[in-house]
Structure 1
Amino acid sequence: MADTKREIERKYEATPDTRLPDLTGVAGVSAVLDQGVAELDAVYHDTADLRLAAASITLRRRTGGADAGWHLKLPVAPGVRDEISAPLSDEVPRALEGLVRARIRGSELVPVMRLLSSREVCHLLDADGALLAELSRDAVRAERLIDSSRTAQWDEIEVELADDGDPAFLDTVEKKLRKAGVKPADSPSKLARALADTATERDERSGPAAEPAGLPPRTAGGHILAYLREQADALLAYDPAVRRDLPDSVHQMRVATRRLRSAFKTFRKVLDRDVTDPIGDELKWLAAELGVARDQEVLTERLRAALDAVPRTLLLGPVRGRLRFWTVAHGSGARRTAVAVLDTKRYLALLESLDTLLGDPPLLRAAGGAADRVIPKAVLKDYDRLAARIDHALALPPGEERDVALHNARKAAKRARYAGEAATPALGKAAKKFAKAMKSVQSVLGDHQDSVVARAALRNLAIQAHTAGESAFTWGLLYGREEARAAEREAELPGVWEKASGPKLRADLTG
C-alpha cells in the first residue's frame, strides 16, 4: 500500500565550515532539538534517457533513516512535491511504476544515480513542543550509475515544513539563514544537482530540445506549438493525478485533450491535417473514455444539490438512498474505466504520437506568417461557426431538435473559447477578452445541456422508484424544476450572445 504526503521544503548551499545561526531566535521557535545523525543510501531509478528527471520527478529506493523504502516525488509547485511512499522491496513497486507509466511508456526503469548522505537532523519546536519544521544538514556523495562512473560531493541544508504547517514559517527561517550568509540552492533536488555535477560531455552538448529549425520567434507556428506543448505537458501531469483519484483530475485531463484537439482544428492552416487529424481522432477517443467518469461526477453533484434544495415535506420515499445506490452503480464502473484506459497500448501510442508531432511538427506555409495576421483569421472562423449554430438553434421551436442544436452550439462555443485562449499569448488583451466572452456563452449553453442530461437521469430514477413501489413524486418535481431551468437558459441566451458578439469583437482581434 502506498502512502502520500505533501512535502514543502527549502534547500540551501553549504560547506563543511558553514555555521548555522541560533534558530531559537526565529519567531515561533522555542527549542531546537538535536535528532542525531542518520546514514542514508538512496538509489534513484529512471529511464536511460532520464525522462523522469526531465519532468522533475524522482523515484528512489532508500535505506537508513526513519523512512526507509521507495519514494516517488511528483512536482506540485516550486518547493512543493507530493511524496508517495511504498515499503522496501527489491523491485520497483507496481503502484509507483504505474504512476510514471505515461512518462516511461515501454522503457525500462534502471538505477541511474546513487546518493550516500550523512544527515544531521534537528527539529524546530514551538512553545508546546509541537514540530514546526525539520532542519537537516547533509554531506552528500553522488555516484553516477549510467553512461559513466563520475562522482560528485557537496554539502547542503534542507528545511522541511511539518505536516499541516504554515508555509510562511519557512520564509521566517530563510530570513534568519540569509542573514547568516546561507544562500538558497540553485538545484531543486539532490538528484538534479547530482546529474548536473556528474554530467558527461555528451549530456552537456545535447541540452534541452531546441525549437524547430526555420521557425523564427513571433510566428504563428511558434505560438501554436508553444500552446500545444503546454497542453501536452498538462496531459502528462494529470495522468498520475487521475490514477490517484485526486479531485478534479479527470476533468482537467479531459480539458487538456479537448484543447489539443480544438487547436488542431482551429489552426489547420498552420499544421498539416493529414498528420493532426488521426491524432485528433485519438484525442476524441481519450476524452470520451475520461468523460464517462467526469460526466457522471457532474451529474451526481447536480442531482444532490437539487435534492438538497427540496423542502423535507416534499421528499417522499427513500430518495436519498435511491440516489446513493444509483451513484455507486454508475460511478464505480466509470472510475475503473478512466483508470484502465491509461494503461492501454492505445493511450501510450497517442502520447508517442504527440511527442513525434511536437518534435517534428508538420508545419504549413502559414506557420511562418506573423502571428497577429494568421491567428485572428483562424479564431474568427471559429466565431463565425458558433454564430451560425446559435442562429440556427434560436430559429427552432422549443423541443428535442432545439436541444440538440443548442448542444452543438455549446461545443462550438467551447472551441471558440479555446481558440481565444490559445491566441492570448500572441494577441494579448483582445484574445483574452474574446475568450471570456465565449466562456459566458458556453456557460449558458452548458447549463442548458446539463439540464437535458439531468432530466433523462431523473426520468430513469422515477421509473426505478415506481417499479420498486416507491413514490416517484420527488423525482417528478425535480424533473419539472430542470425543465424550467432549461427554459430560463434558452430565454437568457439571446441577451448573452448579443453582449458577447458584435463588430467590435472582430475589430479588436484584427487590430
Structure 2
Amino acid sequence: MAASEQVEVELKFDVDAGHTAPDLRVLPGVIGATPPETFQLDATYFDTENLDLAGNRITMRRRTGGHDAGWHLKRPSGVPGARRELQIGFDEAPAEGSVPTELITPVVALTRTRKLIPVAAVSTTRTVTTLMGADGRPVAEFAEDLVTAQSLLPGGHFQEWAEWEFEMLDGGRDTRLLKAADKLLRNTGGREASSASKLARAIGTTPTVVEPHLGRRPTALDLVVTDIAIHRNALIAYDPLVRVDAEDAVHQMRVACRRLRSIFAGFPTVLDPVRTQHLSNELKLLARILGDARDAEVQIAIDQGLLRSENASAELIAELTDAETTIHDRAIKAAHVAMNSERYFALLDAIDELVASPPPGPDAELDAGTAVDRSIEKNRKSIRKAQSTLASMGERSPEWEEQLHVIRKRAKRLRYSTDAAEPLGRKRYKNVAAVAKRVQSALGDYNDTRINRDRLRDLAASGSLSGRDMFVLGRIDARQEVDGERALGDYRKAAKDL
C-alpha cells in the first residue's frame, strides 16, 4: 500500500498476564463485537545511537504480522492522548532493513547525519476484538497483548509483560466512549501504563526533550536561552512541513530563523558574541534561501487577490502568475537542497549545543527584566535615528523607499526581542511588541505594493498585452496605489506610539 497517515487515539494499561478482560459491549454506543482474533506481531524499532527519536516521543518500526504489516512512524499530534501514525506497506518500501525515505523525511531534522540503527526487538501476541456501533460500523479495537522485548542497546536486557490497548477507529471523536472505556478498564484490572510505548519500556530511560520554561527569578541568560530553545523547536517542527511544501510552512520556518537572529542582536552581551556571530550568519543565509520561496508565495497570493475581482484574460493571468510559480518551485527545490546539506545539519547541531551549554557574556547574570528594558530602549533609539534620517530625505525617492525598509527591519527586531519577554508576563512588554508589529506590518504592506507596482510597470512596458489587458492592468495598479497610501498612513499612526 502507499504511504498513509492517520491520527491514533488510544488508551494503554498495564495488566497482569492472563487477567480476564471485561465485556466491552456494555460501553455506550457499542452494540456488538467481533470474535477475538489472535496475531503474532514481530517488530524491530529504529533510532539513532543518541535516541533522538525516542527523546522526542517518536517511534519508528518495521513490523510483520497483523493487518497493518509494514513500516510505521508514530509522532506526537499536539492533541492529548493522540499520536500521528504514518504507515507504508512492504510493497512500497525498499529492501528489508532499509528505512523508507517517506519515514526519514519527517524526522531528518532530528536524526540529521546520524545513522538509524535497530535499538529494540519486540514480539507481541495480540488478541484483538473489534467493537461495533449502532450502524454496524467498527468504532474501536481492544487489544490484549503479551509482550516480550529485547533492548539492542549496549547493556540492554530482556523483558516480558502484558498490557491492554483500547484504540478509537473514528479519530477519537466519540469522547463519551473513550471516557467510559477508560473508567471500565481501570476498574477491572487495568493500571496506569508504566511507559508511553512498547519501545520506551523496552529500552528504559531516554533523554526526553523538555519544553523550555523559566524559573521564578530568571537571569538574562535564562531568558535568552529559553527563547532560543522555543524558536529552535519551531525550526525543527516546520522542517518536515517545508519538505512537503505545506501551506505557510516556509514563512514560519523563516520567521523562526529571524527570531533567533533577533535574540542574538537584541541581547548581544548576554551570550558570548564570538560564539553567536557564526550562528547568526548561518541563520541569515538559511532565511535568505527560504525567503526566495516565501517572496514568490506572497507575490502569487497578491496577484491572485488582485485578479479575483477583475475580468482578466487568460494571457494576463499567465503573465502575472506563471513566472512567480516557476520562481517558487525553483526556490523550494533550492531550499530542499540546502536542508539536506551537512551545513544545515551542522547549524542545527550548533544551536542544540548552544542551548545545552550556553557561553555566557558579560551581562549573563543580569536580571531578565532589566535586560529586556535595555534591549527595548536600544532598539527604540535605533528606530528613531532611522526615522530622523528618513525625514531628511526626499519623499518617494529611492533612498527614502530604502530607508522605510530599514525602519521596518528595526521594528521587526524590536518586536522579536520584546516577544522574548513574553514568559515574564508583563503587560508593558506586550504593548511595545504590539506597536512594533503594527509598524512592521504597515511597512511590509507598503513594500509589497511598491514591488508589485514595479512589476506591473515593467509588464505594461513590455508591449505584450492587448488594450483590454492594459486597461485591467491600470485598474490593478490604481488599487495597489491606494493600498500603498493606506499602509503608509497606518505606519505614521503606529510610529507615534514607538
Q: Secondary structure at the match of 2:415?
A: helix
The answer as to 2:377 corresponding to 1:380 is: yes
For the Cα contact (< 8 Å) 1:459–1:476, is it kept in 2? no
Residue 294 of structure 2 corresponds to which residue in structure 1? 294
For the Cα contact (< 8 Å) 1:119–1:138, is it kept in 2? yes
Q: Which residue identity lines up with residue 195 of structure 1 in the other structure?
A: I
For the Cα contact (< 8 Å) 1:216–1:222, is it kept in 2? no
Q: Secondary structure at the match of 1:361?
A: coil
Choose the corresponding residue for 2:100, options 85, 93, 112: 93
Choose the corresponding residue for 1:143, options 117, 131, 150: 150
Counterparts in 2 of 1:107-186, with a 5 A limit?
Answer: 107-164=114-171, 166=173, 168-169=175-176, 170-180=178-188, 182-186=190-194
Identity, in percent, stands at 35
Q: Deviations over 1:213-239 (max 9, x none)?
A: xx9962111121111112112212221
Which stretch has the larger CA shift, 383-392 or 144-153?
383-392
Q: Deviations over 1:370-395 (max 9, x none)?
A: 21222321232123223333454466
Q: Secondary structure at the match of 2:53?
A: helix
Choose the corresponding residue for 1:80, options 62, 82, 94: 82
Q: Deviations over 1:386-426 (max 9, x none)?
A: 33334544664134333222222221121111111111213
For the Cα contact (< 8 Å) 2:15–2:164, is it kept in 1? yes
State the distance in 2 between where 1:18 and 1:448 align. 69
Q: CA deviation at 1:55?
A: 1.6
Return 5+ residue gaps in structure 2 as ranges.
Answer: none
TM-aligned CA distance change 1:277 to 1:216, over 3 Å:
farther
For the Cα contact (< 8 Å) 1:372–1:427, is it kept in 2? no
For the Cα contact (< 8 Å) 1:463–1:472, is it kept in 2? no
Counterparts in 2 of 1:259-274, with a 5 A limit?
Answer: 259-274=259-274
State the distance in 1 between where 2:210 and 2:7 align. 33
TM-aligned CA distance change 1:457 to 1:177, over 3 Å:
farther
Residue 482 of structure 2 corresponds to which residue in structure 1? 484
State the distance in 1 between where 2:29 and 2:392 align. 67
Q: CA deviation at 1:192?
A: 1.8
Choose the corresponding residue for 2:333, options 333, 336, 347: 336
TM-aligned CA distance change 1:330 to 1:116, over 3 Å:
same
Normalising by the residue count of structure 2, what TM-score does the alignment of the two structures yield? Answer: 0.89
Q: Secondary structure at the match of 1:365?
A: coil
For the Cα contact (< 8 Å) 2:70–2:88, is it kept in 1? yes
Which stretch has the larger CA shift, 295-304 or 424-433?
424-433
Q: CA deviation at 1:165?
A: 5.1
Which stretch has the larger CA shift, 283-292 or 384-393?
384-393
Q: Deviations over 1:439-466 (max 9, x none)?
A: 2222212211222233234345545672
Q: CA deviation at 1:63?
A: 0.8
Q: Secondary structure at the match of 2:441?
A: helix
Residue 234 of structure 1 corresponds to which residue in structure 2? 234
Counterparts in 2 of 1:5-84, with a 5 A limit?
Answer: 5-34=6-35, 36-77=37-78, 78-84=80-86
Q: Which residue identity lines up with residue 76 of structure 1 in the other structure?
A: S
Return 5+ residue gaps in structure 1 as ranges.
Answer: 502-511
For the Cα contact (< 8 Å) 2:299–2:324, is it kept in 1? no
Q: Secondary structure at the match of 2:228?
A: helix
Q: CA deviation at 1:210?
A: 11
Q: Secondary structure at the match of 2:49?
A: coil
C-alpha RMSD of matched pairs (Å): 2.8
Residue 494 of structure 1 corresponds to which residue in structure 2? 492
Q: Which residue identity lines up with residue 471 of structure 2 in the other structure?
A: F
State the distance in 1 between where 2:273 and 2:46 align. 39
State the distance in 2 between where 1:248 and 1:85 align. 25
Q: Secondary structure at the match of 1:112?
A: strand
Q: Which residue identity lines up with residue 25 of structure 1 in the other structure?
A: V
Q: Which residue identity lines up with residue 58 of structure 2 in the other structure?
A: I
Counterparts in 2 of 1:297-316, with a 5 A limit?
Answer: 297-310=297-310, 312=311, 315-316=312-313
State the distance in 2 between where 1:369 and 1:167 align. 51
Residue 506 of structure 1 corresponds to which residue in structure 2? none
State the distance in 2 between where 1:63 and 1:299 align. 48
Q: Deviations over 1:235-293 (max 9, x none)?
A: 12221222233322222211111111110111111011111111100000001111122
Q: Secondary structure at the match of 1:362?
A: coil
State the distance in 1 between where 2:154 and 2:472 align. 69
Give aligned pairs, total: 486
For the Cα contact (< 8 Å) 1:448–1:486, is it kept in 2? yes
Q: Secondary structure at the match of 2:452?
A: helix
Q: Which residue identity lines up with residue 263 of structure 2 in the other structure?
A: A
State the distance in 2 between where 1:171 and 1:386 align. 55
For the Cα contact (< 8 Å) 1:270–1:364, is it kept in 2? yes
Which stretch has the larger CA shift, 489-498 or 74-83?
74-83
Q: Secondary structure at the match of 2:34?
A: strand
TM-aligned CA distance change 1:122 to 1:439, over 3 Å:
farther
Q: Which residue identity lines up with residue 195 of structure 2 in the other structure?
A: S
For the Cα contact (< 8 Å) 2:303–2:321, is it kept in 1? no
State the distance in 1 between where 2:174 and 2:336 align. 33
State the distance in 2 between where 1:133 and 1:383 align. 58
Residue 354 of structure 1 corresponds to which residue in structure 2? 351
For the Cα contact (< 8 Å) 2:56–2:208, is it kept in 1? no
For the Cα contact (< 8 Å) 2:263–2:417, is it kept in 1? yes
Q: Which residue identity lines up with residue 86 of structure 1 in the other structure?
A: I
